[in-house]
Amino acid sequence: MKNMKINHAQKGFTLIELMIVVAIIGILAAIAIPQYQDYIARSQITRAVSEVSALKTAIEEELLRGNNPSAIDDASASYTSAADELGYTSSDLFAAAPTINIDGTGGKTLEATLDNNVSSGIKGTKVILTRTAEGAYTCKVDGGSAAAFKKSFAPSGCPAS
């Protein structure tokens, strides 16, 4: 009987092939994770701007009725009021309800500080909407004490200061 050679095909991957795959995955993860964290921060700030902006309608409605949203008639000084009186529903992004500051010229500022369930790098970021006496609103995002705040986190139409 002749010796029969049975050709065994190679099965599986070599060690070097596996090491290359692991290295590629590591490089991709090193790039993707920070980008994902930035995306999360941007989305949380955009959500905060949206939630604070919802109070604009309530303020305008109160002003059209002749009411001052802070229930204060003296416009010669500055006051701070909780947004709860305008029907604000609490958000898990803020430590407290946004405040409404009324200055002597009839302008109003809505300000909310991100604190609770946000990325650690943007804690302390403030969303500020300012209403002039004429009724025009401007928006800005103030990174303030936020450790890793980037101006690119601010949504379009609400620039970072």
Give the integer Cα–Cα distance in Å for 60 and 70.
13
Q: Which domains does the chain have, with CATH numbers?
A: 15-71+82-153 (3.30.700.10)
Per-residue pLDDT, 82: 55
Q: What is the pTM of this model?
A: 0.74
Q: Is the dihedral of CA 97, 60, 81, 150 positive or negative?
A: positive
For 150, how many CA atoms within 13 A lie in the half-sphere containing its CB?
Answer: 11
Residue entry with tokens 């946000």: 118
For residue 72, what pLDDT is reported?
46
For residue 24, which phi and psi values (nearest 5 degrees)? -65, -45
**Over the chain, what is the mean pLDDT?**
80
What is the tens place of the pLDDT at every residue in 133-160? 788 889 999 988 777 888 888 998 889 8
Listed range (11-20, 85-94, 119-128) with the worst mean pLDDT: 85-94
Q: For residue range 34-84, list pLDDT tens digits in order.
A: 999 999 999 999 998 988 888 888 778 777 777 665 554 444 444 455 566
